[in-house]
Structure 1
Amino acid sequence: MCVLLLFCGFRERESAIEVENIDKANLIHLPMTGDSISAIDLFLKQISMGDKKREAELNHFSHYHPLILFDAQGDNNLCYENELFFLNELNNDKICNACVQKISAPFYSCGLCDFFLHKWCAELPNKLEHPCHPHQLILLKKPPKPIGLFYCNGCGYYCNGFAFQGIRNRCMNYSDYYPDVKCAFLPKAIIHKVHEHPLFLKKDCITAGCAACDRCIGMFAFGCDICNFNLHYTCARLPDTIKHRYDEHPFTLIYAPIKNGLDEYMCEFCEEGIDPKWWFYHCIDCDQSACAKCICTERKEVQNIKWGSTYNFDSHPHRLIYVPTTDDGCDYCQENFYAPFPLTRQIGFKCEQCNIMVHPFCPYR
């Protein structure tokens, strides 16, 4: 007991020194005021390594064709003459092949394929030190085997974007450690309005629990060791307000504990009761509530998947395309898409030449 108390006291003093030395002015402050600005976008822009020379044309290891730079500055010596028109007409469904987030300028694009890279994603470092991993991570130059689909250790979802990996000869227990781009470049610390101290990036908060939700899952978190306060990183980046098509007013994020609140709240989406011990959204004007998981993202399990991407399998003669699953079963194993791989139940591969749909892992089995 004495040893434990000494250790805890040492850890608190160490954390206090770390908090004292950090430059709070340069930290990202959360939550964002609204959902029009994404915290993930701010995290990803930190990847930029300074004022690197802008290349008008780039040959990148991830693509067969040269990539052309599109920059909001409109420098026609670097970009197409119709660049500004292209930027204005750019559809919201254009997705970066590296971070699998919506594309925004500056970015590189292939004129022949549906291939996009944010400029900062095209300049990812080959090696990376990460606070949640004991050894150096390396940027994979090829998609992870066997299907180009990997499980991200940061957010707990499958992804088909770029991945970092633990070096095998140094990480015997981490050879399958794959953070995606956005999780690899989460800030080491943030400021959140619900807590007085900076919150530092950590591997998870399973032991202490998350202050915002009741999920016990292994994903990256932000925490304060002095106060034993933790937030899943997905909870930490919830916006302060959200606009939804079902309500003319914005929903406001409600933090627990609620003072002088109602005894019962019901989610308008899943129609289940909301436990006021955890964070949720509420519209004061309409007296409507919503679970954070319901209102924030539809098909959240596939937020890291770029649909339309292709992959080659040795067991199939044609390229297969990533597509959302349907109610039909897999043409390989004849089972529905909720079995035998529940974590990838919304992800399928389609062959347009053979007109078949299959589980992600079935072509490899």
Structure 2
Amino acid sequence: MLEFKDKQPLESTGTLKNEDLELDESIDSLPYVVKKMKIGEDRIEIAEEIKHVSHEHDLKLTEELLNSKKCDGCMHPIFPHPFYSCAQCRFFLHKSCVELPRKKRHPLHPHLLTLFTEPPYYSGAFFCTLCGRDCDGFTYNCEKCEFDADVQCSLISDIFTRDVLEHPLILSRAPYNEKCSCCDHEGKVFKCADCEFTLDLRCATLPHRVRYRYFEQPFKLCYNAEDDSDDDEYYCDICEKKRNQKYWFYYCTDLSFYAHPDCILGKSPYMK
């Protein structure tokens, strides 16, 4: 069991009488203050410099291309999303992570969740209840149930769609774990109403593009079996072990390089 430290949740402003009132996603409930604005395309105002509660220094919106850095909120690669950075530290936040609400509800949990920019445990990390991965980034936490959802799992909705999927998938609320069609894990899954296809939250929240070590070229998450060749012909170019052609994988077209997700991401991809 994880041991709680003295927690300092990001409280919403105002007097709150119940959970429905607490669910205030107005600008006042966002965990940052705008320090400087700029005019972007179409004359739209953009927050160029902010002060976010997760970091001691101001953060500036940047267009610098960073290949190997992670967002300190979701722990996913910075590339290729807009992000804020600290000029004094190597601290980065996706624009979408900066704009996360302080409170939110989740379809797989009955209580209101509170955003913590640091895990509320003495270990400094947490175990995501939904995808089963260790993480030391932002968490949406329910102290009452010792429930934690990392940023990507906190964003899931009842329906999961991708252009490459034949049918939309429905989030299963079954109390038990089910096996994913795209990997060898069991967990909370999305299910297809028309076929037996299932997708667990580990796969549903994988980064779409990643970088690997010294390679400059990006690797793309691929969803479909490559062809109908003999399964013995498919290997991971990192571990050099066989790949199941029905399971998802990362691939770089320029390098003709294939990799298991766990091999290219590492054993603890959401830890600093």
Judge same fold: TM > 0.5, yes or no.
yes
> Share of identical aligned residues, percent?
34
SS class of match (1:165):
strand
- With over 3 angstroms needed to count, the CA separation of the structure-2 counterparts of 1:278 and 1:145, relative to structure 1, is closer
Q: Is contact 1:254-1:281 (8 Å) kept?
A: no
Could you tell me which of 56, 59, 68 is aligned with 2:59? 68
Could you tell me which of 159, 164, 172 is aligned with 1:189? 159
Q: Is contact 2:181-2:197 (8 Å) kept?
A: yes
Q: Is contact 2:131-2:200 (8 Å) kept?
A: no
SS class of match (1:182):
helix
- With over 3 angstroms needed to count, the CA separation of the structure-2 counterparts of 1:96 and 1:252, relative to structure 1, is closer
CA distance in 2, matches of 1:240, 1:126: 26
Partner of 1:100: 75
Deviations 1:126-160 (A, max 9, x none): 11111121222111254321022111123222111
Residue 292 of structure 1: CA displacement? Answer: 3.1
CA distance in 2, matches of 1:134, 1:55: 34
**Structure 2 stretches lacking a partner, 5+ long:** 1-43
Higher percent of residues as strand: 2
Matches within 5 A, 1:1-365: 54-65=46-57, 67-70=58-61, 87-88=63-64, 90-103=65-78, 106-140=82-116, 142-168=118-144, 174-175=145-146, 177-192=147-162, 195-202=165-172, 207-216=177-186, 218=187, 220-225=188-193, 227-236=195-204, 254-255=224-225, 259=228, 261-262=229-230, 264-267=232-235, 268-275=237-244, 278=247, 292-293=260-261, 297-299=264-266, 301-306=267-272
CA distance in 1, matches of 2:87, 2:121: 28
CA distance in 2, matches of 1:115, 1:279: 31
Higher percent of residues as helix: 1
Look up the equivalent residue of 1:191 and give its one-letter code: T
SS class of match (1:138):
strand
CA distance in 2, matches of 1:252, 1:107: 25
Count of aligned pairs between the two proteins: 221
Deviations 1:91-149 (A, max 9, x none): 32333221122336643333322222223322211111111212221112543210221
SS class of match (1:304):
coil
CA RMSD of aligned residues (A): 4.1
Look up the equivalent residue of 2:260 and give its one-letter code: A
Residue 68 of structure 1: CA displacement? Answer: 3.4
CA distance in 2, matches of 1:141, 1:265: 45
CA distance in 2, matches of 1:291, 1:116: 27
Look up the equivalent residue of 1:211 and give its one-letter code: S
Larger radius of gyration: 1
Deviations 1:208-254 (A, max 9, x none): 422223323x3x43222454431123435679999986xxxx99755
Look up the equivalent residue of 1:157 and give its one-letter code: R
CA distance in 1, matches of 2:206, 2:74: 19
- With over 3 angstroms needed to count, the CA separation of the structure-2 counterparts of 1:221 and 1:205, relative to structure 1, is farther
**Structure 1 stretches lacking a partner, 5+ long:** 1-51, 72-86, 169-173, 307-365
Residue 164 of structure 1: CA displacement? Answer: 0.6
Deviations 1:8-34 (A, max 9, x none): xxxxxxxxxxxxxxxxxxxxxxxxxxx
TM-score, length-normalised on structure 2? 0.62
Q: Is contact 1:107-1:116 (8 Å) kept?
A: yes
